[in-house]
Amino acid sequence: MNKIGSSETIRKTTFNFFNYTQNIVSHQTTINKDFLEWFIGFTEGDGSFIVSNNRLFFIINQKEQKILYAIKKNLGFGKVSTYKTYSRYIVADRKNIDKLICIFNGNLVLDKTNTRFLSWLHARNIYSIEKIEYLQKNEFTCFSDNAWLSGFIDAEGCFNATKIKDSRYTLKFRVRLRFILDQKNEKQVFYKLQSFLQSGVISNRIKVEHMFRFTSTSISSYEILIKYLQRYSLRSIKKVSFLRFCCLLRYIKNRKNLPWENKVLLRIENLLKNISEKES
């Protein structure tokens, strides 16, 4: 593998997969940039970089088996195992660990993930003749032109809908929609998200130290988010909750022209019941 990180031109881009294109599995001739950006975001939410007994492991644990098989298929390597309550995607062989390094090196966004990856890379270099130079964290400024946020939402996001008592309405209630992300320490990424959606509140979670929550309740911010996720689609089962969220938003926006009664009201009640994203 060629040494990485000597060229400044690599770091002037947001996500750069040049080195990975030189090291993809033999049966793939092209890469899916949107998938790789999504995969990085998903990894920064749910992935683990592990060193044990001088061996490197990359692991994603998920209740949803299907998304792990999709990752395996897109990358062309790795193994999926199923246990009683969850499934696991794992990469453990050195050849494919190096392929993952090509994907992550210089492209990781969060401070904590970069710290863990750096330790992982350091362990790799100790036991390898050919070294790989660590590239700095990805300092991209906006989510609009990459799929990272889509992957991060698949890992950490929540689309929440609840009934709120409100005497101004005939039915004496309104529906409150919320888009929620929780993350420990990484407050800066929420500032970027707040800027991107032009709305949102960043708060501290009382029960968990250094845990921050981003909450958006603005219809205008939802329209930005929906436009983004139409371009960079969610890939996990969370997409179903998002579609229900979008349906509820349409009913809220059209409430004056489309009264909430009969079949419409039944549809809204079913959406509220089945959106399946509860606040923690």
Q: Are residues 152 and 270 in the same domain?
A: yes
In terms of domains, do 202 and 267 share one? Answer: yes
Question: Which stretches of the chain are DSSP H helices?
Answer: 8-11, 18-21, 33-46, 65-75, 94-104, 111-126, 148-156, 187-197, 219-231, 238-253, 262-274
- Shared-domain flag, residues 106 and 198: no
Mark whether 165 and 207 lie in a shared domain: yes
Please report, for the domain that includes residue 184, its CATH number: 3.10.28.10
Question: At 29, is the pLDDT very low, low, confident or very high (cuts 50, 70, 90)?
Answer: confident
Domain finish residue from 58, 91, 126? 126
Structural domain contains residue 23: yes
**Does a structural domain hold residue 118?**
yes
In a domain? residue 28: yes
Q: How far apart are CA 33 and CA 10, in angstroms?
A: 15
Instruction: Show the domain range for 219.
Output: 148-274
**Long-range contacts of 87-92, Cβ-Cβ distance < 8 Å, separation of 24 or more:** 87/61, 87/62, 87/63, 88/59, 88/60, 88/61, 88/62, 89/59, 89/60, 89/62, 90/57, 90/58, 90/59, 91/57, 91/58, 92/55, 92/56, 92/57, 92/58
Task: Count how many domains the chain has.
Answer: 2
Residue 94 placed within a domain: yes
Assess whether 57 and 105 both reside in one domain. Answer: yes
Statement to judge: residues 113 and 203 lie in one domain: no
In a domain, 15, yes or no: yes
Q: Are residues 98 and 161 in the same domain?
A: no
Residue that terminates a domain, selected from 126, 159, 186: 126
184 and 89 in a common domain:
no
Same domain, 175 and 83: no
Is 180 inside a domain boundary? yes
Residue 131 lies in a domain: no
Check whether residue 86 and residue 176 sit in a common domain: no
Q: Count other C-beta atoms under 10 Å from residue 101's C-beta.
A: 24
pLDDT value of position 71: 97
Q: Please tell me whether residue 182 adopts helix, strand or coil conformation.
A: strand
**168 and 229 belong to one structural domain:** yes
Asked whether residue 122 falls in the same domain as residue 153, the answer is: no
**Per residue in 124-164, pLDDT tens?**
999 888 999 999 899 888 899 999 999 999 999 999 999 99
- pLDDT tens column, 155-211: 999 999 999 999 988 899 999 999 999 998 899 999 999 999 999 999 988 777 888
pLDDT at res. 5: 43
Give the separation between CA 248 and CA 272, rounded to whole angstroms.
8
Whether residue 89 is predicted with pLDDT greater than 60 in this model: the reply is yes
On whether residue 199 sits in a domain, the answer given is yes
With a cut of 80, say whether residue 9 has pLDDT above it: no
Whether the per-residue pLDDT at 20 is higher than 80: the answer is yes
pTM (2 d.p.): 0.91
